Amino acid sequence: MASGAAPRHGGPPPRNIPRPGRSLAVFALIGAALMAAVDEIVFHQILHWHHFFDRSTPGVGLLSDGLLHTAEVIALVAGGALYADLRRSGSLSPPHARAGFLLGLGGFQLFDGIVDHKLLRVHQIRYGVDVTPYDWAWNGAGLLLLLAGAVLAVRARRRTGGGGAGA
Amino acid sequence: MTPGEAGTHAVSGGGFATSAAAAALAAAAVYALAAWRLRRRGDAWPWQRDGSFAAGCLALAHAMLLPGPGGPFTAHMAHHVVTAMAAPVLLVLGRPLTLTLRSLRPGRARRGLLAVARSRPVTWLVFPPVAALLDMGGLWLLHRTPLLAAAHHRPLLDAAVQFHLLAAGLLFTFSVCRLDPVRHRWGLAVRGVTLLAAGAAHAVLAKTLYAAPPPGTAYEGADLRAGAQLMYYGGDLVECALAAVLAVEWYTRRGRAVRPRGRPRAAVVSAGGG
């Protein structure tokens, strides 16, 4: 059957050609979902810093929390399937995947720290203490992850830049 | 029995619970018989489907007959998680409609069933957002109006509520998984977004129940909190399972798209891996 010439049938994704954008996006999704899960497991279940329900939470905060939590569960499963598909078709680009993963981790953490904690006031990192140092630590760590992800993304782009198929 | 302790459905809705358990066990027996006949005539029918359907029936019967763990509200929630969420997933994975259609001989019965499955009302019912609205709407009504309190004293109402929860749970699961042949094949996006919205509605309801009991009921604080958390995290597990069903469907379909039909996998690998 087909030997040298790659079969070109319309629609289906190419095989064995690295797909940097897709690798980055899939791992950003996995990173964000994983950080949300870690956030929940560490702060709710292990440290008990967060309450299961906070009476001061406004309705919109409660809704966003429920939506985010559900999205986290679905994104973890979807991310797994997308990753498996990248592996199967041989189009995973590891440098971009690493960059995307860090971008996802940091992006979610910063989103949580600014939108959830400060704008919507769904919950705070801790209760009954001055939260300022905690906020700086949480958002700072998120920013660091995000920056590290950005640096890796630039490096990955330089390394594989020029359109050459990764060996 | 004092009204306050009427939390376990095995006690409050005795008649319905017993007949539902009996129906579940009968369904398991009929399913096993049908699958056996299918295999005997040479059809392929994976054993996992038998196992899944039987597990769903057993879980349903178990939840109907035996009182749940913990206080009355926790027991109520355990009952809800099993009958309206976990058991429906197991039952739907058994593809009962496909099995029925394959077992029936060509004739009026099969034509009739197919006509019902493809009729307009059924098509609307299995439109994922409608199914989700029926399921989540019923759940919110039960817990955020005096319905739950009223059902404690009226066995008939209680049976109706339980029936609705079970039927709506089945309908929602059926429409999101979409493994059996019905008229419209809604895309993954519609079903995924519906799952997201329904999951969020479920999580929000669970969180509010943690702080405020359903109107007209007086559950103990610890019982209420345990029940709400059971609902929340139990919902996660079921949601994970539903998301996995969608993910597997997507992955399989994409695999087919990549590999031209009739071409063995090894040929593709050797052609591409050089």
Whole-complex ipTM = 0.81
Phi-psi region of B220 (alpha: psi -120 to 50; beta: other; left: phi over 0): beta
pLDDT of residue B223: 92
B202 inside domain: yes
Domain residue ranges in chain A = 20-158
Asked if B271 lies within 8 A of A73 by C-beta distance, the reply is no
Interhelix angle B47-65/B14-40, rounded to 10 degrees, is 170
Please check whether residue B128 lies inside any domain of the structure: yes
Domain containing residue B246: 20-102+121-257
Q: In chain B, which residues have pLDDT < 70?
A: 1-14, 258-274
Q: Is residue B200 part of a domain?
A: yes
Domain count for chain B, please give it.
Answer: 1
Please list every residue in chain A whose beta carbon sits closer than 8 Å to the beta carbon of residue B203.
Answer: 65-66, 69-70
Q: Does a structural domain hold residue B38? A: yes
Of B93, B172, B185, B91, nearest in space to B131 by CA:
B172
Q: Chain B residue with minimal CA distance to A81?
A: B247
Residue B112 domain-assigned (yes or no): no
Backbone angles phi, psi at A12, to 5 degrees: -60, 150
pLDDT, one tens digit per residue, over B27-55 is 999 999 999 999 999 999 999 999 999 99
Residue A9 clears pLDDT 60, i.e. is over it: no
- B126 in a structural domain: yes
pLDDT at res. A157: 87
Cβ–Cβ gap A66/B201 under 8 Å: yes
Which pTM does this prediction carry? 0.84
Q: How far is the C-alpha of B13 from the C-alpha of B18, rounded, in Å?
A: 9
Residue B233, in any domain of the structure = yes
Q: Which helix (H) or strand (E) holds B114?
A: helix B108-117
Flag whether B57 is in a domain: yes
CA atoms of A124 and B114, how far apart (whole Å): 54
The string of pLDDT tens digits covering residues B217-246 is 888 889 999 999 999 999 999 999 999 999
Confidence at A14, pLDDT banded by 50, 70, 90: low
Number of CB pairs < 8 Å for A and B?
94
Query: Using CA atoms, how far apart are residues A30 and A105, in angstroms rounded to an integer?
Result: 8
